[in-house]
Amino acid sequence: MTFTAQIGNVTFPDIIYNSSGPRCTTPEELVALGNSESSAIMMKSCSPEPRTGNPEPRYKEVELGSINSIGLANHGYKKYIEYATDLKKQFPDKPIVASIVGFCHEDFLQLVEDFQNEPNVDVLEVNLSCPNVVGKPQIAYDFETSDELLEKIFTISGNKPIGLKLPPYFDPVHTASMAEVLKKYPISFITCINSVGNTLIIDPETEQPLIAPKWWLGWLGGDYVKPVALANVRAFYKLLGDRMRIIGCGGIKNGVDVFEHLLAGASMVQLGTVLWKEDVECFGRIQKEFYEYVENKGYTSVDEVIGNLKEL
């Protein structure tokens, strides 16, 4: 059994692929994704200019997940356009997704326009869940700014599906407010969620934090964030209905986790921390586990699972 998925005019051969962040920065990592069972090749969130990111140590695996403060290290968007050209030659049937991040509105608009004009990129994911200006919140936590930016983005011509990577929301008022913004635009999908930011993990043996940047605060992923991710997926599914696809991301390390995200309302999922820990072999394992699980439960299609949470 395999389940295909559609985002806009792009067909994905399966519903599981990588999130932007782990193992998708270099050409070698991207080729490895192409050769894997990932249903797409998501490239690293890229900025107008290359970034070296934050000082080391900036990533640490822990028992229930990971903490990082990479600092948007990437090669610059022009390099990812080059990488996409090479990838499309090698993997013509696998969608290539560009992840876009900026530090002002002009950055986002420049990258959206240039990637819309790039024939070897199939889908755009606009990352609204990273801090962009010192003293200001993440864009997606500022609903007025999000509205202003999206209005500008959707004046740019092009036929590529555009989606948004969103941060975790912790209050129903915030998910409702963001949903009202999203409804105004032809958004193809939202990815819920990015890592949970500004967290601290301490090693009691060394009596030190695990990472160095930004007063030792980092972005939390893995098992820790799965309940938050599921809550956000469910909230937006209830608020948005079938207006756009929801891609679940957070705490997925086996086939049952995929199933839970689909029950909550996701129609596809992305893998992050598990990809850091296991490398690209995780895709085949998790797909096999997921298919076996849904077959044993008697499902024959993804549509039967999506949003089918049996509410109390």
From first to last of its 312 residues, the chain has per-residue pLDDT tens of 668 899 999 999 999 999 999 999 999 999 999 999 999 999 999 999 999 999 999 999 999 999 999 999 999 999 999 999 999 999 999 999 999 999 999 999 999 999 999 999 999 999 999 764 555 679 999 999 999 999 999 999 999 999 999 999 999 999 999 999 999 999 999 999 999 999 999 999 999 999 999 899 999 999 999 999 999 999 999 999 999 999 999 999 999 999 999 999 999 999 999 999 999 999 999 999 999 999 999 999 999 999 999 989
Q: Which residue has the tokens 């080729």?
A: 31
What CA–CA distance (Å, rounded) separates 145 from 271?
A: 29
Please give the pLDDT value at position 213.
92
Please give the pLDDT value at position 136.
66
- Going from N- to C-terminal start, the domains of the chain cover 5-53+71-196+225-304
Please give the pLDDT value at position 49.
97
What CA–CA distance (Å, rounded) separates 38 from 52?
A: 27
Please give the pLDDT value at position 131.
62
Please give the pLDDT value at position 3.
82
Which residue numbers are catalytic? 130
CATH of domain 5-53+71-196+225-304: 3.20.20.70
Count other C-beta atoms under 10 Å from residue 8's C-beta: 17
* 226 φ/ψ sector (left φ>0, alpha ψ -120 to 50, else beta): alpha
Q: Model pTM? A: 0.97
Please give the pLDDT value at position 137.
78
- Token duo for residue 80: 């990812």
Number of H helices, E strands in the chain: 10, 16
Q: Of 149, 108, 245, which is closest to residue 188 (Cα–Cα)? A: 245
Evaluated on CA atoms 272, 277, 279, 283, the torsion sign reads negative
Please give the pLDDT value at position 130.
76
Q: Which residue has the tokens 């635009």?
A: 185
Please give the pLDDT value at position 118.
98
Please give the pLDDT value at position 16.
98
